[in-house]
Amino acid sequence: MEYVPNILFAIALIVGVAYFTRNVKKLSRNIKLGKDVDVSDNKSQRWQNMARIALGQTKMVVRPVAGIMHIFVYVGFIIINIEVLEIILDGLFGTHRLFSSLGSVYNFLIGSFEILAFLVIVAVVVFWIRRNVIRLQRFIKPEMKGWPKKDGNMILYIEFVLMTLFLTMNAADSQLQQLGAEHYVQAGSFPISQFLTPLLSRMSESGLMMVERTAWWLHILGILVFLNYLYYSKHLHILLAFPNTYFGKVKPKGQLDNLQSVTNEVKLMMDPNADPFAAPTTTDVAAVPEKFGASDVMDLNWVQLLNAYTCTECGRCTSECPANQTGKKLSPRKIMMDTRDRLEEVGKNMDANKGEFVPDGKQLLDDYISREELWACTTCNACVQACPVSIDPLSIIVEMRRYLVMEQSAAPMELNNMMSNIENNGAPWPYNQMDRLNWVNE
């Protein structure tokens, strides 16, 4: 009977890790539905971006209050996982505070964990107030209604409960150490949980053990549940921020990608020695894509799909977007959320059809993202600059507009007029080249 808790813990750990592995495989499969793209360039710059943006949180602190609070949560949640490692080993081997042999180092670590846990609680409370009491504009946009709002709050509740359980476990443990209870060795420093001990001071030894064991089990089970909840949550960026910042755009933000087939055509037109009637070479034919632009998630590249899953839904992109600020329908955050939602729908379709996608009569364009949203974009890159994890909503917008123009000839009338003028007059304005300077005489 003494090994029953260890067996139950091992089963819980195996089940939790198995579900997490399944979710990772599903996530990987969905991202790989995107087209291949070469991201092997500028490796040193990519590593620097990952270290500076994902690890260093440099773009988070542009907004100091949210940035500093986020660092508390980020650092606290990462470092406290060292304690989780000890809990896992204790659960498997039936030990208690396995790392206590580290002595003063262990005391320092536990004390640091407690301070960080307290800072996480403070930050979570601040974030909850900003979302639900102050109601910052970027958190009450139309796309944040329903599940996105519930998900944001759910994450805060989970983090609050996990940190509270950690401190409660330590408070009961310290009391049991003072009572000299069996197996509860003198170890650890408890600068925060010591303030909870008066609440437990009148409890019996068996009662304290019950509190300590209950908090211990709920804490580790909560972490396993949270780990598997990540796939369905905006907090997936905990795992994806690092690869996303590495594979993020390293070219100048104003530099748009050109289609190779169009580039070849332009070069042909500008080459005085080229024969416009010559049969296209094998290279020319290979450069022509099956479809220009993107109308659905499978037309995007895998980095853009990784972007969609990495979106934190923080709304910084939307709050910086000049189109959104002037009342236009466009929200860069919604573009990323819609892309992720459509990708999830495609993934579920494949799950239901033995790994094959069966056309469902829907697509990203029109069913999720409207043309009005796409044409409201000014391509200013404010959203790209604002994103704290190097997401590029503009690249998706450009690809979808490219599809509308090149596949459907469905550009707005003003844009069609401009392109016709460029073709006929060499300028966006409806004046021929001979009349361009007439305004000088006026």
How is 204-264 classified by DSSP, letter by letter?
-HHHHHHHHHHHHHHHHHHHHHHHHHGGGSGGGHHHHHHHHHHSS--S-TT-PPPPHHHHH
Confidence of residue 2 (pLDDT cuts 50, 70, 90): low
Q: Is 166 exposed, middle or buried (0-12, 13-18, 19+ CB in 10 A)?
A: buried
Confidence of residue 28 (pLDDT cuts 50, 70, 90): very high
Q: At what angle do helices 302-310 and 332-352 cross, to 10 degrees?
A: 110
**CA 104/CA 327 separation, integer angstroms:** 59
**CA 200/CA 116 separation, integer angstroms:** 22
pLDDT of residue 429: 84
Q: Which of 148-162, 246-260, 308-322 has the lowest mean pLDDT?
A: 246-260
pLDDT of residue 264: 80
Confidence of residue 76 (pLDDT cuts 50, 70, 90): confident
Per the structure block, which two tokens stand in for 47?
């590593």
pLDDT of residue 302: 97
CA 384 to chain centre: 14
Going along the chain from its start, the domains and CATH numbers come out as 4-31+63-246 (1.20.950), 260-425 (1.10.1060)
Smallest CA-to-CA distance from 267 within 254, 284, 253 is with 284
Per the structure block, which two tokens stand in for 206?
């068996």
Confidence of residue 285 (pLDDT cuts 50, 70, 90): low
pLDDT of residue 310: 97
Q: Is the pLDDT of residue 283 over 70?
A: no
Smallest CA-to-CA distance from 120 within 80, 154, 89, 151 is with 80
Smallest CA-to-CA distance from 127 within 97, 95, 102, 160 is with 160
Are the CB atoms for 166 and 83 separated by under 8 Å? yes
pLDDT (tens digit, 9 = 90+) per residue, 324-351? Answer: 999 999 999 999 999 999 999 999 999 9
What average pLDDT does this structure show over 205-219?
Answer: 93
Are the CB atoms for 398 and 379 separated by under 8 Å? yes
In sequence order, the β-bridge partners of residue 301 are 35
Between residues 245 and 182, the one the model is more confident about:
245
Confidence of residue 287 (pLDDT cuts 50, 70, 90): low
Phi-psi region for residue 233, left (φ > 0), alpha (ψ -120 to 50) or beta? beta
Q: Is the pLDDT of residue 316 over 90?
A: yes
pLDDT of residue 72: 86
pLDDT of residue 342: 98
Smallest CA-to-CA distance from 16 within 228, 230, 239 is with 228
Confidence of residue 16 (pLDDT cuts 50, 70, 90): very high
**CA 203/CA 172 separation, integer angstroms:** 10
Confidence of residue 255 (pLDDT cuts 50, 70, 90): confident
Confidence of residue 269 (pLDDT cuts 50, 70, 90): confident
Instruction: Please list, in sequence order, all residues whose beta carbon lies within 8 angstroms of the beta carbon of residue 222, skipping any fewer than 6 positions away.
Output: 158, 161, 162, 165
Average per-residue pLDDT for the chain = 91
What average pLDDT does this structure show over 21-27?
Answer: 95
**CA 381/CA 391 separation, integer angstroms:** 11
**CA 45/CA 239 separation, integer angstroms:** 21
- Give the single-character DSSP code of 184: -
**CA 247/CA 177 separation, integer angstroms:** 49
Query: In Å, how far are 110, 289, 299 from 286, measured between CA atoms?
Result: 60, 7, 17
pLDDT of residue 46: 97
Per the structure block, which two tokens stand in for 250?
């390293």
Are the CB atoms for 162 and 220 separated by under 8 Å? no
Confidence of residue 256 (pLDDT cuts 50, 70, 90): confident
Confidence of residue 84 (pLDDT cuts 50, 70, 90): confident
Smallest CA-to-CA distance from 5 within 94, 97, 95, 88 is with 94
pLDDT (tens digit, 9 = 90+) per residue, 354-407? Answer: 999 999 999 999 999 999 999 999 999 999 999 999 999 999 999 999 999 999
